[in-house]
Structure formats: structure tokens, C-alpha cells
Structure 1
Amino acid sequence: MQAIKQLGQYLAPYKFLTIIAPLLMVLEVTMDLLQPTIMQHMIDTGIANEDHPYVFKMFGWMLISAVLGLVGGIGCSYYSSKAAIHFASDIRQALYEKMMSYSARERDTLTTGRLITILTSDVESIQRAFMMTLRIFVRGPLLFIGAVIIVFITARELFSILLIIVPILIIAMYFFTKYSGMLYRRVQEAIDAVNTKLQENLAGIRVVKAFRREQQQISQFSSLNHALTKRFMTAEQIVGVLVPFTMFVVNLGIVAALWLGAIKVEAGTLQVGVILAFINYLTMILNGLMSSSMVLMQIARALPSGERIVDVLHKDVVVKEAANALAEPLAGAIDFDHVSYRYYDTAEDVLKNISFSVQPGQTVGIIGKTGSGKSTLVKLLPRLFDPTGGEIRVDGKPLKSYALATLRAYIGFTPQRALLFSGTIDSNVRLGKDEASAEELQQALDAACASEFVERLEQGLAYPLAQGATNLSGGQKQRLALSRALIRKPAILVLDDTTSALDSGSERHVQQAIAANYADTTTFIVASKITSIQQADMILVLADGEIVGQGTHQELLQTNPHYQAIYASQQKAGEQA
């Protein structure tokens, strides 16, 4: 319940809607409560005495109350829907903005499948619960309380029946509401697992097909789906028992009312209209309790969703911006001072005591075996995560002292896996610089060796990309990702194995274009091939997260055994090829 209270801040802009909707529902309920009483008077006073003008008068009042109830019901539905939808929309927007602020650590902790479930299913659950609260949770208790009071005043002879039925219904409602909350929490966890598996398989469908593991993945999904189905069935079956059980109890009450009423009518102490009114009010009490129980179960179902939403919104972000962060331009001088990093507190360091300095405009090559920490090192520069030890300085100031927006605006970053978004080639390249001119766009495409294939496409820059750019080859995606980084003419350029899918001629062209057009840019090139970095001003050789060699290509060839081993193996592979 604490989570729901914390989400209440998102209702502030919609106070008027959340007040007017229940008031209109009060109008509808009041008119509904009047109907049986009017009918009672129509029967006992008008029809019994053959007073036709009185019957028509009561009929007119019934018609007026029905119309007013209709107006109240429609108005409540309109305003409650508007409030609930906007409320959920604001929460969804806040969740997305919070997720965008997450570093890699928070995303790994929460998992993509869980975040998708929270942003969709959990928000929808909260929206439905709030809408039902404004509509039904006002109607249910008012119907219940109003009907009980009227029965006590007008049909006290039958009131003892309520003293037996109502406690039974309330106890049943409490039990089912409490138990359903626990069951639906388990359902949401099962949905997380299904979404995670679905997201992984759709993203890696080519790998699955390449290794012919369709049946294995189908089997794994089937197990998760079976678990979700079982939990859903248990929850729905438990909840489903409430309606027939409640109807059974109320039907017993109707039978008792007819039996007791018949005795009293025969004795002359009760009129027929009172019995009919009592049955109507008993039905209203049933509806009030049933609708209230449905809302309570929806709220119980929404409570775990609310807790998960609040958990995301309040999740502490590891990478934080400093107070009074610097917004000054970057020149590109970089200093790593005994930098270490570990992905989790209990894990071993993947970077250990890294120290080196780079001057603006220099090119740094980084090479080493798989898992040596090359990609991790360059991801520290745009603060995708922060060092767990040591310090990084840019232009002599701590990296953490810069505003994140400023820091990242001066860095062109191409990840190891070229990621493009659905849209056009133009929109993807302009992610690097929205306001880029046509000349700047063409220069970036030329430098990345992307112009040659873009110009061959019938729609050129307007060529639409599928989700994940599956309608482009790996090399084409890498070249567009490089264009996206180059178009902003960054002070610091990070190429994380960006040219691995390019042929040697295209790679040389990219190296020459960067050297000619981006001479003032400090460039970091992560590579698996020595040919990709041998012209660098400084090469770092990594092994098990440590720098085991530092110098130019010629210096390392003469003095560093690790570099010599890499060079020899690649030379041998080239000769065999």
C-alpha cells in the first residue's frame, strides 16, 4: 500500500477529475437507492388502493431518477477514464525517463524482460485499479451502506437476515482479496520470465536457427509458459469461486426473505411492497459487496505492480552527475590514474591498476585477447559505468566533474555491436548530430566508407531500416554506426572493434579519412588485428585486465613478448591464408 501512496503524486494534475468522478457516482447511486422505495410506495399505496394518479406520479419520479442516474454514471465513466489514463501515461513516461538514466549495472540487475513487463503490464494494472476505484469502489460501498440503512428504516422486520448474510460475505471477500494479491504477485514474476525469454530469442533468432536449436528454445519457452499458465489458472480459479459463492449466500437470503415475509404478510404485519423492496435492496447489497470485492482484488493485484514500479523509479543510479557539474568544452587530453573496475561488488576486477596519458589529437590503439578488458576500458570514457578504483581525468579535471550531457556531446562512440534503430538511414546517422548539414552528413558517410552502398540504394538516405537493421549486412551496419559517431566531429572518438566486418581496403580508407579530417580528435581504437592500430601514436596491450605493454608498434615489436606473440600469430595466419 505504501507504493500506491507514493504513486499518488502523479494524480496531482488531475485532482478535479478525481473529485468530480466520485461525486457523479454518488448521484447515480442515490438515484439507484431511491428506485426500490419509489416502487414500494407505488405498490403499497398506489396499486393497492387503486390510486392511479399516485401511480403515475411515482412512475414519473422513477423516470426522473433513472435519467439522473444515467447522467451521473456516464459522467463518472468519462472523468474517471480520463484521470486514470493520464495518470498511467505520466507514470509510464516517468518510468521510461528513469530507465534512460540507468547505467549498465541497473539494467543488468533488473533485466530487460522485467523492465518491459513493468512498463506495460504493471502500469496497465495500476491504471485499471485506479479507474475501478473511482468508478466501482465509490459505487459499491455506497450501495451497500445505503441499502443497509434503508432496509433498517423501512423493513426492520427482515433486517435480521442481513445480520447473518453480510458478515459471511465480508469474511469471504476479505479471504479472497488477501489470497489473490499473493497469487497475482507470482503471476507477474512468471510474466517477467516469459518476456525475458521472448526478448532473448527474438533478438538472437539467427543464432538459434544457425545452431538448429529451435526445438530446444521452444521446449524452454513451453516450460515457462506452462508455469505462467499454472499460476494464472490457480489465481483465476480462486478468484472465480467468489462470485458463485456470493450468489449462493444471497440466494439463501432471498429465500429466507420470501419465507419470513410470507409469514408476516399473512399475519398482517408486513406489506408485499416491502418484501419486493427488500429483495431489491438485498440485490444491491450483493452488487455493492461484489463490485467492492472485485475492486479490492484488482487493487491486491495492482499492489505488487505498484511495488515494482516504485522500485524502478527509486532505483539508485550508480552513475550520477556531480553538483555544479562542468559544462565547458573538451579538448581531449585523457589521464587514467590507477583505474580499476569490477562489474559486481563480489566479482574480481576486470580492469586492474590502469594508468596512461593521452594528448589531444593522439590515437590510442588497444589490443589483447578476448576478455582482456578492452571494451570495458573504453566504456569508462562516456561514463557508461564508473571506475571502482582510481580516477580518470579529462583536460586535467576529474571525469565525474563534467555534466553527463556535456561529456557525451563531445564523445563519438561506436559500440562493439553496431546497433541501429528502425527508421531511415538519415535519421540513424543524424542521431549523432540532429542539426547536421547535408555537407556534414556526406562527409561522415564518405569517411566511414558508407557512401558507396547508400548511393546504390533506390531510396538513398531515405532507405527504411527494419528493427535491428536486419535488412543490412554486418559491414554496412558498422559503417553507418561509424558515420553516426563521426558526424558530430567529436573531441574524443571511441571505436570499439568498429571495423572488424570491413575488408582491408575499406578499413584503410576509414583510417586515412579519420587521420585527415579528424586530426584534432583524440581517438581510441579497440581492435583484434594489429593492422587496425599499427599507425597509432600509442598502443596499449591488455592481458587479464592489466596493461602488459605500452608504446608504438615498432617499440612493442622489439620489446614486448605479448605483442610479439599476437603479431606472430596473425602473420602466420596471413601466410596460411
Structure 2
Amino acid sequence: MNAMRKLLHYLKPYTFIAILSPLFMCVEVVMDLLQPTIMQKVIDTGIANEDHAYVIKLGLFMLLSAIIGLIGGAGSSIYAARTAVSFSTDIRRDVFKKTEQFSNGNIDSFGSGKLITILTNDITTMQQAVIMTLRIFVRGPLLFIGSVVIVWFTARELFPVLLVSIPILLVFIYFFSVKSGKLFSHVQKAMDQVNTKLQEMLAGIRVIKAFDRNEYEKGHFKMVNDTLMKRSMTAEQLVLTLMPIMMFVVNLGIIAGLWMGVIKVNEGTLQVGVILAFINYLNIMMNGLMSSSHVLMQIARSFPSADRIVQVLETKIEITEPEQPSKMDEIRGDVEFREVHFSYSKNGEYVLTNLSFKANAGQTIGIIGSTGSGKSTLVKLIPRLYDPDSGDIFIDGVNVKEMPLEKLRTAIGFVPQKALLFSGSIEDNLRFGKEDATIEQMEYAAQSAAASEFIHRFDDQFEHTLLQGATNLSGGQKQRLSMARAFIREPKILILDDSTSAIDALSEAAVQQALKGAYTNTTVFIISLKISSIMDADQILVIEDGIIEAAGTHNELLASSKIYREIYLSQSGRVVENV
């Protein structure tokens, strides 16, 4: 309930059109309530007295009221839709904006599947709740209350039927509304699992086919899909069961009304038209209650959605701008780690432990170690994709937590371990690194990344369109474009996270030559499993189980580090002498 109240402020900019919708609905309801009364007059006065002129007059009045009701209903639908769609659009904008501010840790805590469900299914559920509230939740109660009042004044002899049937209907509506809210909460969790599984399967479709795991994945998807089916079926069956129960109660009321009405007609205290009007009003009451129950169920269904949306909006961002950012001139590129500890789980199981080292501006730092030793985690701390649990990281002597995020990150060129490119043209992807980049700058960056040779093979060159995930490029081509995107920034700090693993030796040599020639003033961090990629670095860090096992130049490490010597021997096949 609190979450729902917090989201209602998104309706404030649309208060005027939100009010217009129920006002138009009131017009439709009044016209609908007039119909049975007019019909009663037609039967008891016009037809009973054979007054054809009176019948035609009331018939025309019925037609006019129907037209007015149509205008009211259409107006209500239009303004309700405008309000609800604008409401959901604003929420979706803010949720997306908040998600963009999430740190990697924030995203990990939610999971991408759940975030997608919130941005799509949950917000759509809220949109439907607003539409139904503005239209049907106004229409239902008004039809119900209006019918009860009219029956009280025009068919009071049959009113006891309502005193019995209405409480029964209200009890069923309350029970089903509460129960459906809990069930639909389980449905949303199952939807999260389906979305997460779909993401994994689509992202890893090539691996699935390569390992011939199609049947296994089909079985795994069937499991989560069946869970969603069962929960959805249970929830929908509960909702749909309410309709026949209410119809049964209403039909019993109609039978009771006919029975009592016939007795009253025989006694001469009631007219036939009154019985017909009573039955019509009883059906109107049922429709009003039924539509109101649907709205109540939709609102109950929207409560879990509102909770999940507000959970995103109120999530504390782990990586925030400093309250009093340090005023800095141009970043030079000195990087220092001081006793840095980091854990993903925050349970004391550190991925990095007591890391301390310093890289001077313009130096090349090689980082090597076994898989899972913490190499990639180390470089992710520099642009503050994560913050360390303890210890500090300094750039040019300033703690990165005191630097404006924009200034920090625009000074860094980051090439992730997995090359991620976006749908669009090659030019669009390169402009991620520098929005106002010229064709000459793109060409130079592409040459530095050894990407020019395949770009110029395309007829449209830099305007060549990439599919989603750049699936129309090879792994090596994607890596080279990813590097070109970082090079075009001319960064002060360049991070290459195992970014040459999929490119050939000649292309890697070209990249290394470009780094030595054009980026001499850039502090370069190169993570690699290959010693050949880092052996010319000014300083090499050997990482083992999150600890710097050794640091030094290639020759120094051959002499002092057993781990480094073993890696070198396994890759080169040479025996290290004089050690």
C-alpha cells in the first residue's frame, strides 16, 4: 500500500485529464441507469394503455440516452488511456534512469531478468490498474449504488432480495481479491525466472549448439515455463471462478424476485413493468459488482508490482558522486592502490586482499595470473564499477571516491574481457568513445586497433550496420572494434582486460606497436594470460588468489617469481637459466 501511494504522485501532472475520465463515465452511468426505468414506463404506461405516441416518444428518448452514454463512455476511455499511458511512461523513464545509475553490485543484487520484468510486465500491470480504476472502478460502484437507490424507490416490495444477495456477493469479492493478489505475486516471480532463462539461452545460443545441449536447455526452460504455467493457471482460474459464482447468486436473486413479484402482481400491489425493471437493475448491480471485483483484483495484482518498482526507485546507489568533489586539473594518469580489499558477497570472502602498488603516468602495467585470481576485478575498481570494501585507490594523488564520476570515467578507456558492441553502425559504436569524433579520428583509432583492414572490406565501411550483439562480426573483429572505441577517447588511463585473446598474432603486434608509439603518455593496464602480451611492460603484477604474489619487470620476475617462471616455461617451452 505504501508503495502504491508513492507511485501515485506520478499522476499529479495529469490530474485534469484524470478527473475528466470519471466525469465522462458518470454521464454514461446515468444514461445506463435510465434505460430500465424508461422500459418500465413503456410497458406499464405506453403498452398497457395502447398509447403508441407515448411508446415512440420514450423509444426516441432511449435512443438519445444511448447516444449520450456512448459519448460519455468514449470520452472516459480516451482520457483514462491518456492518463494511464503517460503515468506508466513517466515511471518507466525514472526506473530506466535509476537502473542506469546502478553499480555492477546493484545490478547483480536484482538480476537482469527481474529488472526486465519490472520495466515491462510490472509497469504494464500498473498502467492497467490505473485505466481500470479511472473507468471501471467509477462505473461499477455508481451502477451498483444507483441501481440500489432506484430499486428502493421504485420496487421496494422486492428490496429484501437485495438484502440477502448483496452481502453474499461482497463476501465472495473480498475473498477472491485478497487471494488473487497473493497468487499473482508468485506469478511475477516465475516470470522473472523465465526472463532470466531466456536471456541466458539467447546470449549463449552458439555455445548451446556447439555442445549439443539443445535438449537439456529445452528441458530446463520447460521446467521454469511449467512453473509459470501452473502459477498463472492457478491465479487465472481463481479469477475466472468468481464470475459463475456471482452469476449463480444473481440468478437465485432473479428467481426470488420473480417469485415475489408474481405474488405481488396477483395481489394487485405491483405492476409487471416493475418486475422487468427490477430484473434489469439486478443484472446491472451484478455487472457493477463484477467489474468492481475485476478492478479490485487488478489493484491487488498491482500491489506486488508497485513494491518491486519502488524497490528499484529507492535502491541506494552504491557508487555515488562525492558530496564535495575534488577540483582537479587535467588527469595525468598516476594510479595507486593502498591496502585494497574487495568482496562480491560482502561476507568476508575477499576476491582481492591487501592490494598495494603504484603505476606512474605513462607506464604500462601488465597483470597476469590464473583464471579467477582477481585480475579483472582489480581493473574494474579503477573506474569505480565497484568500490573496495576497505583501502583506497588514488589517481594523481586524489582518492577516486572524491572525483566527479564523469571526469574520472571520461579519462579512462575500458576494453572489457567480453567485447560488447551495440546494434547500429560501426560509426555509432566508435562514437560511444567520443561523441564528436571525426572520420579521421575514427580511422586513426581503427588503425591503432588493427581494425581498418576488415572495416574497409565493407562497401559502406564505417556506416556498416551491426546486428544485435554484433553477431555479423567474428570474435576477433569485435575485440578490435572494442579496442578502437577505447582508443578514440585518447584516454589518460587505458584498461585492456584480456582484449587480444581472440585476435591473431600479427594484429596483436600491431596493437602493441600502436600503444608504444601513439599512447606513450597513457597509463596502460594490460590483463593477459599470455606473457608475450605483457613482457615489455614497465611493471608486471603476478596475481594469485587475490594477492600480488610478485611485481617487477619480465627479467626480474623470471628471477624472483616461481609462478611467473612456470607460466613462462609452459608458454615458451624454454628453460630459464641462472635462476
Structure 2 match to 1:312: 312
Is 1:249–2:249 an aligned residue pair? yes
Distance 2:575 2:457 in 1: 32
Distance 2:88 2:352 in 1: 43
Distance 2:358 2:524 in 1: 13
Q: Does the CA contact (< 8 Å) of 1:250 and 1:286 recur in 2?
A: yes
Structure 2 match to 1:176: 176
Alpha-carbon distance, 1:574 to partner: 11
The within-5 A match list for 1:129-528 is: 129-326=129-326, 328=328, 329-528=330-529
Paired residue secondary structure (2:499): coil
Kindly tell me the number of residue pairs found equivalent between the two proteins. Answer: 575
Residues 133-186 of structure 1, C-alpha deviations (whole Å, 9 max, x = no match): 111000000000111011111110000000011011101111111111111111
Q: Does the CA contact (< 8 Å) of 2:569 and 2:575 recur in 1?
A: no
Alpha-carbon distance, 1:326 to partner: 4.1
Letter in 2 for 1:434: E
Structure 1 gap ranges (5+)? none
Q: Does the CA contact (< 8 Å) of 1:482 and 1:498 recur in 2?
A: yes
Q: Does the CA contact (< 8 Å) of 1:541 and 1:549 recur in 2?
A: yes
Identity over aligned residues, as a percent? 55
Change (3 A) 1:495 1:68: same
Letter in 2 for 1:414: V
Q: TM-score, normalised by structure 2?
A: 0.97
The within-5 A match list for 1:49-64 is: 49-64=49-64
Moved more, 447-456 or 460-469: 460-469
Q: Does the CA contact (< 8 Å) of 1:126 and 1:305 recur in 2?
A: yes
Alpha-carbon distance, 1:347 to partner: 4.6
Q: Does the CA contact (< 8 Å) of 2:361 and 2:523 recur in 1?
A: yes
Structure 2 gap ranges (5+)? none
Q: Does the CA contact (< 8 Å) of 2:103 and 2:317 recur in 1?
A: yes
Paired residue secondary structure (2:450): coil
Q: Does the CA contact (< 8 Å) of 1:412 and 1:493 recur in 2?
A: yes
Letter in 2 for 1:464: T
Letter in 2 for 1:127: Q
Distance 2:158 2:348 in 1: 72
Distance 1:346 1:360 in 2: 35
Alpha-carbon distance, 1:561 to partner: 2.3
Paired residue secondary structure (2:290): helix
Distance 1:573 1:425 in 2: 42
Alpha-carbon distance, 1:463 to partner: 1.6
Structure 2 match to 1:79: 79
Paired residue secondary structure (2:573): helix
Letter in 2 for 1:356: F
Structure 1 match to 2:35: 35
Distance 1:262 1:513 in 2: 100
Q: Does the CA contact (< 8 Å) of 2:541 and 2:548 recur in 1?
A: yes
Change (3 A) 1:573 1:225: farther
Distance 2:21 2:396 in 1: 59
Structure 2 match to 1:126: 126
Letter in 1 for 2:132: M
Paired residue secondary structure (1:390): strand
Residues 447-483 of structure 1, C-alpha deviations (whole Å, 9 max, x = no match): 0000011111222112211211111111111000000
Alpha-carbon distance, 1:58 to partner: 2.5
Distance 1:517 1:248 in 2: 83
Q: Does the CA contact (< 8 Å) of 1:165 and 1:250 recur in 2?
A: yes
Alpha-carbon distance, 1:48 to partner: 2.2
Residues 314-344 of structure 1, C-alpha deviations (whole Å, 9 max, x = no match): 1122111111334643221111111110001
Distance 1:217 1:431 in 2: 35
Distance 1:124 1:571 in 2: 59
Letter in 2 for 1:487: I
Alpha-carbon distance, 1:16 to partner: 1.1
Q: Does the CA contact (< 8 Å) of 1:338 and 1:390 recur in 2?
A: yes
Q: Does the CA contact (< 8 Å) of 2:424 and 2:466 recur in 1?
A: yes
Superposition RMSD in Å: 1.5
Distance 1:331 1:277 in 2: 86
Residues 346-365 of structure 1, C-alpha deviations (whole Å, 9 max, x = no match): 15111111111122111111
Distance 2:562 2:551 in 1: 12
Structure 2 match to 1:558: 559
Distance 1:509 1:347 in 2: 43
Letter in 2 for 1:2: N
Letter in 1 for 2:95: L
Letter in 2 for 1:28: E
Paired residue secondary structure (2:457): coil
Structure 1 match to 2:66: 66
Alpha-carbon distance, 1:43 to partner: 2.4
Paired residue secondary structure (1:512): helix
Paired residue secondary structure (1:500): coil
Moved more, 552-561 or 528-537: 552-561
Is 1:17–2:52 an aligned residue pair? no
Q: Does the CA contact (< 8 Å) of 2:368 and 2:543 recur in 1?
A: yes
Q: Does the CA contact (< 8 Å) of 2:261 and 2:275 recur in 1?
A: yes
Distance 1:259 1:522 in 2: 93
Paired residue secondary structure (2:392): strand
Paired residue secondary structure (1:393): strand
Distance 2:501 2:251 in 1: 75
Alpha-carbon distance, 1:23 to partner: 0.8
Structure 2 match to 1:5: 5
Distance 1:310 1:280 in 2: 44
Paired residue secondary structure (2:367): strand
Distance 1:57 1:398 in 2: 86
Change (3 A) 1:350 1:213: same
Paired residue secondary structure (1:489): coil
Q: Does the CA contact (< 8 Å) of 1:327 and 1:406 recur in 2?
A: no
Paired residue secondary structure (2:135): helix
Paired residue secondary structure (1:353): strand
Paired residue secondary structure (1:485): helix
Q: Does the CA contact (< 8 Å) of 2:113 and 2:196 recur in 1?
A: yes
Alpha-carbon distance, 1:370 to partner: 1.1
Paired residue secondary structure (2:358): strand
Letter in 2 for 1:226: D
Change (3 A) 1:573 1:263: farther
Letter in 1 for 2:494: L
Alpha-carbon distance, 1:573 to partner: 8.2
Letter in 2 for 1:350: V
